[in-house]
Amino acid sequence: MRTEEFAGRVAIVTGAAGGIGQAVVLALVDLGAAVAAVDLDGEALRALERKANVGRQAVRGFTADVREPADAVVAEVERRLGPVDFLVNGAGVLRPGPALEMGPDDWDAVLSVNAGGVFHFSTAAARRMVERGRGAVVTVSSNAAGVPRTRMSAYCASKAAATAFTKALGLELAVHGIRCNVVAPGSTDTAMLRSLWTDDSGPANSLAGSLPEYRVGIPLRKFATPEDIADAVVFLLSDRAAHITLQDLYVDGGAALGR
């Protein structure tokens, strides 16, 4: 049942055209929020607007590169939608491969989006939140931030950096009444996960784990859906989590064994 829990609230979601990003946008809209959907893919943003704006104009797309400073984007969001209450850092990329075969361009590409994007948008939004003495930030990280993965060194490093930055920022912003938390998904049914499967055994191996890669399976024996992740994000943004900050919530079906 739809509620108006976030009526009158404005949210920015980066990586809004991705699987998790779209689920977060739609969940926020369903709770009454106005959402600035940020992504580099302008065509996908327009499709998201058409999907979300059924009976109301709740989502506006903003084409932007999270690798760049975000002050101008946040200012434009506030000009068009109003003061920003929530930020969800959802933009992310993955370039898998052995660490010793990785070039500096791949390293920079992953770190600049997954960590740099969190820095740019978090600081730009938080400066305005501080002026108002309220706000909440959620960074979508990964359980790979805390559990080493073969062929994913840059991704692990970038997500660890994003996680640590979000918590450190939250410590500084707590005095201003601003909460900063992290949601760490495991294997989620998205295009990013499917890109790691090289043959028909990919899904089964992801569920059961792989001894040669030192990777356990998923105790719940199922993949997360993007909506599972969105539910966790929405909870941490909500007043139900009013006394929760600096937390890293793993939503991975137990794959990290409760780390």
Q: Which residues are catalytic?
A: 155
| Measured CA distances, 244 to 4, 185, 206 (Å) | 22, 18, 31
Task: DSSP for 75-139, please give it.
Answer: HHHHHHH-S--EEEE-------S-GGG--HHHHHHHHHHHTHHHHHHHHHHHHHHHHHT-EEEEE
Structure tokens at 83: 């003061």
Q: How far apart (Å, rounded) are the C-alpha atoms in residues 189 and 203?
A: 10
Q: How far apart (Å, rounded) are the C-alpha atoms in residues 112 and 93?
A: 10
CA-nearest of 106, 164, 140, 126 to 224 is 140
Rg (CA), the chain: 18
Q: How far apart (Å, rounded) are the C-alpha atoms in residues 191 and 1?
A: 29
Residue 254, φ and ψ in degrees, nearest 5? 90, 5
Q: Cβ distance 79 to 56 under 8 Å?
A: no
Q: Cβ distance 183 to 139 under 8 Å?
A: yes
Q: What type of residue is 200?
A: D
| Measured CA distances, 99 to 9, 115, 144 (Å) | 43, 18, 15
